[in-house]
Structure 1
Amino acid sequence: MPNKFMKPQKDPLSMIIRTVIILALAFITAFQVQAADMKYRVRKRICEMDDSCPSDSGGGTPPAGSHAAQFVPAYINIAGQGSVAFTLTFAEAGVTYAYSINDANPVTAAITGSLVASGADETVTGLNLGGLDDGTITLTASRMEGATPVSTATDTITKDTIAPQVTTLSPADNSASIPPGTPPALTFSENILAASGNIAINAVALIENIAVSGPQVAISGNLATLSPSSLLPTSTALHILVPAGAFTDLAGNPHVGLTSATDWNFTTSDGSEPDLSISVVSGTPGTMDIANGLSPGAAVILSIANTGDANSGALQILLTGTVTNFLKTDDDCTGANLVPADSCQITLHPIATEDGPYTATLTASDTRGESASQALAGTAAGFSISAPAWCWGSNSGVGALGGYEYVSSSVPVPVTNMGESVGISAMVSGYTHNCFIQNGGLKCWGYNSSGQLGNGESGVGTISSIPITPIGMDSGITDAAASNGNYTCAVKNGAAWCWGYNQGGQVGDGTSGGQLLRPFPAIVLGMNSGVTKVATSAWNGCAIKNGGVWCWGTIFEPVGTPALVPGLESGVIAINGGTYHHCAIKTNGSVWCWGVNTFGQLGNGTTTTSFTPVAVTGMDSGATAVAAGANSSCAIKNGRVWCWGYNEQGVLGNGLNTNSPVPVPVTTTNMSAPVSSISALGSHTCAIAGQKLWCWGYNNAGQLGNGTTTSSNVPVPVTGMNTGVALISMGAVHSCAVVRE
């Protein structure tokens, strides 16, 4: 009898058939999954190539409910903005999807809509995006459950409906004397692509057709350069026609073309061109060294020649690099029009005030763009040798001459108690005090009524005839300036510091008036880095910061806060202050002045005061140094001194005693050597020429140093200063110099 607890035995054949069916179903299922996964991976790879993939787990088949949305074009241009499409992939049939298309402008109304998916892929066409702004357009497509989005996919596209414009033509329209080998070029307002058509180069008749899409048109960004198959004809009036649509921007917007003979026309030259070269007449441009601290060094003479077959036009000479270390003493080339085979010469000397290397490049350019360059380099040494300071002039009760019994002197006397005289790299003088930089530290001496010595003391009768170090100024000092308004400024580790009289906010720390005196250094607001030079007038401090001039004090508002000087925002290499005005030199050697102009001390041919810098007449290039006096100014140009402004005491040095609102040359009857340094503050001026010292102007206290108190309207030699003079600084009625032993 059968046991009801025993399992019935199955027929073996039926078991085999059942197993085969199960395996077949499993295979079919796996194949369907693999096919779906492969389809997804392919689509994902495509969208990854243009960053249009939706966010998902990144694996195989996307999670349930996920989808992707993608604009069909790569750009929307003016022609296609009225009929835009996007695709929805991995959608679920029967599910509602809402979409929104918008620009970055929050005011613009979005383009919105919805659809019920009929399958995995849906395409929405005919969208008019003309009402959206150019720029990034964002598509957002959301799977909806009722009114709630449960998953979102996005895509972006760039809309650009502005056609490219030509901004520059080369050669320029209506230009003349164009070398026949000049390749015509068009610069557009945006990056471009070549489309189709021919660019026609024409004279009276067609010269050549150039296929836009061919190898004779090179496109780089927004520049299209043409390469004619041969040189353009000489002495010929030409015009170039560019058909509409020859170029498009990246969105496909076409350029309107240059379709008129008057749009782009020019005349070629006769084929001759200048060709400039520079050769060395004497000296070694690569080793323009200074030895033993004696500046200027030996001269280098350069010859600039025109070896071409056309005139050069007015030459431009540009010196770049550490230009303050090179002094042009003769220049026959600036502005010269060299005919073929003609030449001119320039003489340069190296100058320095401290040890170290210097480099520059001299470039000569003609009116057709041809140029030639010469590298210059050298090293200064010997400035760390013993070099005592000497002073002369007024000393009554102020100690400006440095411990010389407070007695004035009309000849130089040594500054006593100055300690070791090695390493002095700069000297400056104020109304009745002086300072020098020595081995990176600052030392000052003289009258200290307003705290201008910076040692924390002040008061009428406060004097130090011994050089002392202002508080915190014992290292890192690279420049200094002393005012005839009884305050001092210095550059320490790239920051500007000032101290002393502060009634008008000239210390620059944001205080004034109530903080009448500042007897210890304070950092100037905003001038804590990037400062290379400082300058002082009676009521204004200034600094060169990152190449631009900033000033503070009574002329600039708010009082005591530095302001950038208009027109001198960059490219300034030197600056100096007088009583109520300043002057500066730009990298191109031009001189600019601003401030009070009662006597023409701004040098622009007027006596109109200007708190905006004005160009000094005739000083548009070649200047290497500038000095501002009480009511006059001077500059060194090509090794010669020129002065302008007040001249009643002969401070202009031109042999006359009449004022001049434009630069006049200082008499060189005695002072024949090239001038390397100049200084002024009151109504007298001194200059170093060939390591000798010369002074001129007011001499009531013996400040000219020639043993008399007679003023001179021409330079006179300073007693005992006939060799080795390295540094000079002028006070109001005294003078000082450093002499290399």
Structure 2
Amino acid sequence: MTNFRTTRLCSAIAAALTVLGLVAMPVGSAQAQEKRLKAWGNNRSGQLGDGTWTDFRTSATSVTGLTSAEVTKIAAGGAGPTNGHGLALLTDHTVLSWGANTYGQLGDGTVFGHNTPGLVAGLGDARDVAAGGSHSLALLGDQTVVAWGHNNYGQLGNGTNADSSVPVRVEGLNKVIAIAAGSEHSLALREDGTVWAWGYNINGQLGDGTSASRNVPSQVVNLTGVSKIVAGCNHNLALIGPASGGGTKPTSGNSIKAWGYNATGQLGDNSTINRYTPVDTQGIWLGGVSQIAAGCNHSMAVTDSDNRLKAWGQNTSGQIGDGTTDYRITPVPVTGIKGVQAVAGGREHTIALLGDNTVRSWGANGSGQLGNGTTDPSAVPVTTLTPLVGVDKVAAPVGGDFSLAN
């Protein structure tokens, strides 16, 4: 661990000196050619991880000290336009974090934010990560879950409502294969296809038929056969039936279930009524659904043989991507893109990775979160200003205004 910390410190110092112009990086050097984890958008909490507190960046900057090759998963959290934190799961199964840390959401044993990546305490066998508003989750190799950060509604799932600046065990969960984090609630998918939820529940986001918040996991009712889960600020989606990946192709038999807050139609059930148990998202999913994603109050699904994208819910800033700012209570096509490989939603923006390795974004852009060199919103997809070579994953915080790509 000492060598790891020393290496990180040296990398951070070198990067800082380079920014200051005190170290010149040869153009042809190996380090100059290495692919880097990238970030753009709001940075007032240091959530871009580039060693600065610059208000915002309208084009991609490199997260300090991290090459793309050593990052296997990324997650972005945030509880407001200027608040946010990032997580990166490394190939050695440790987790790095950066950004806001008021409630211990960086997991380093402190409540002090930092603008470069640092180690989450005590994690050496992490397999996945998720970031909520001000809390974080990790799935471990033994298929249990740990959590850290804000816990006012029990979103850490450890039977208390006390914040924790280091990872704590989520009670009563095993055989977990996927995790997701909303603004103030958390989800876990078990290998038997059931979904478990804990935390804030005033809008029914725990899916147990009540509005009572819980500090330990409870099973989402009437929901089985789930293959994927995602969380928005206060709503959730579950993909029922096989999805793409793992050698299984999507089929026309799969479907989407949704529950929780629905004031802007983010459940896609042709209503604006909150749902305390899962309901069917409407839509004809030709060729099946391969991916699902959620922003704060909007939702997305990748569908059909061309990997096209549909979206629904809040559209105040054009985050649906259909060229309008009209709310959509059932899924509609996103304008002009196909071949979608990955998609993520922020507070009021959406980011997608296409098959040609270009990254497109749309929606709110006051902090440059679309990455196209402007702060102008767009109701249709725009291309990031900085070419992002070799990208295979994207992330955005459900409650924040920045983006990550690796």
TM-score, L = length of structure 1: 0.45
| Shift, 1:417, TM fit | 2.9
Match for residue 269 of structure 2 among 580, 599, 604? 604
Q: Identify the residue that residue 116 of structure 1 maps to in structure 2.
A: none
Structure 2 unaligned spans of 5+ = 1-32, 79-83, 207-211, 243-253
Determine if the alignment matches structure 1 residue 553 to structure 2 residue 199: yes
The match for 1:566 among 221, 240, 248 is: 221
Query: Is the 8 Å Cα contact of residues 681 and 730 (structure 1) preserved in structure 2?
Result: yes
* Correspondence 1:417 to 2:65: yes
Alpha carbons of 1:653 and 1:423: their partners in 2 closer, same or farther (altered >3 Å)?
Answer: same
The structural deviation recorded for 1:423 is 2.8
State the partner residue of 1:652. Answer: 320
The question of 1:495 aligning with 2:166 is answered no
Equivalent runs, 1:420-499 vs 2, <5 Å:
421-431=68-78, 432-439=84-91, 440-458=93-111, 462-474=112-124, 476-483=125-132, 485-493=133-141, 494-499=143-148
Consecutive unaligned residues of structure 1, counting only runs of 5 or more, are: 1-384
Distance in 2 of aligned mates of 1:387 and 1:613: 41
Over the residues paired in the alignment, what is the CA RMSD in angstroms?
Answer: 1.6
Please list, as runs of the form range in 1=range in 2, the aligned pairs for 1:235-314 lying within 5 A after superposition: none
Task: Tell me how far apart the structure 2 counterparts of residues 723 and 619 of structure 1 sit (CA, whole Å).
Answer: 34
The one-letter amino acid of 1:451's match is G
Q: Which amino acid aligns with 1:438?
A: L
CA distance change for structure 1 residues 657 and 443 in 2, over 3 Å: closer, same or farther? same
Kept in 2: contact 1:480–1:533 (CA 8 A): no
Aligned to 1:667: 335
Aligned to 1:581: 235
Q: d(CA) in 1 for partners of 2:123 and 2:187? A: 19
| Contact 1:583-1:591 at 8 Å conserved across structures | yes
Query: Alignment partner for residue 158 of structure 2, among 509, 519, 531?
Result: 509
- Distance apart, 1:403 and its partner CA: 2.9
**Counterpart residue number, 2:164:** 518
Q: SS of 2:69's equivalent?
A: coil
- Shift in alpha-carbon separation, 1:434–1:558, aligned structure 2, 3 A: closer
Cα distance in 1 between the residues matched to 2:310 and 2:135: 28
Deviation at 1:553, TM superposition (A): 1.1
TM-superposed CA distance for 1:681, in Å, is 2.7
- 1:721–1:615 CA distance, 2 compared to 1 (3 A): farther
Q: Deviations over 1:361-400 (max 9, x none)?
A: xxxxxxxxxxxxxxxxxxxxxxxx954101000112x111
Shift of 1:721: 3.0
Q: Distance in 2 between matches of 1:719 and 1:612?
A: 42
1:728 aligned partner: 394
2:24 is aligned to none
CA distance in 2, matches of 1:402, 1:508: 28
Asked whether 1:544 is paired with 2:189, we answer yes
Change (3 A) 1:664 1:558: closer
- SS of 1:422's equivalent? helix
Q: Who wins on radius of gyration, i.e. which is larger? A: 1
In 2, Cα distance between equivalents of 1:592 and 1:414: 37
Distance 2:388 2:339 in 1: 14
Q: CA deviation at 1:566?
A: 1.2
Return the offset for 1:624: 1.3
Q: Does 1:689 align with 2:354?
A: yes
Secondary structure of the residue that 1:736 maps to in structure 2?
strand
Q: Give 1:630 deviation, angstroms.
A: 1.1
What is the rounded CA distance, in whole Å, between the counterparts of 2:267 and 2:213 in structure 1?
24
Is contact 2:302-2:309 (8 Å) kept?
Answer: yes
* Shift in Å, 1:619: 5.4
CA distance in 2, matches of 1:388, 1:579: 29
Contact 2:301/2:310 (<8 A) preserved: yes
Find 1:680's aligned residue among 341, 345, 349: 345
Q: Tell me, in whole angstroms, the C-alpha distance in 2 between the residues paired with 1:421 and 1:680.
A: 21
Matches within 5 A, 1:42-53: none
Could you tell me how far apart the structure 1 residues matched to 2:271 and 2:68 are? 45
CA deviation vs aligned residue, 1:136-161 (integer Å, no higher than 9, x gap) = xxxxxxxxxxxxxxxxxxxxxxxxxx
Structure 1 residues 477 and 386 mapped into 2: Cα distance closer, same or farther (>3 Å)?
A: farther
TM, length-normalised to structure 2: 0.81
Structure 1's 636 and 500: CA in aligned 2 closer, same or farther, altered over 3 A? same
Question: Which residue type is aligned with residue 643 of structure 1?
Answer: A
1:722 Cα shift? Answer: 5.3
Matched length: 339
Contact 1:692–1:724 (Cα < 8 Å) also in 2: no
Q: Which consecutive aligned stretches of 4+ in structure 1 deviate over 6 angstroms post-superposition?
A: none
Give the counterpart of 1:713 among 379, 382, 403: 379
- After superposition, the C-alpha distances for 1:211-234 in whole angstroms (9 at most, x for unaligned) are xxxxxxxxxxxxxxxxxxxxxxxx
Aligned to 2:393, what secondary structure does the other structure show? strand
Match of 1:9 in 2: none
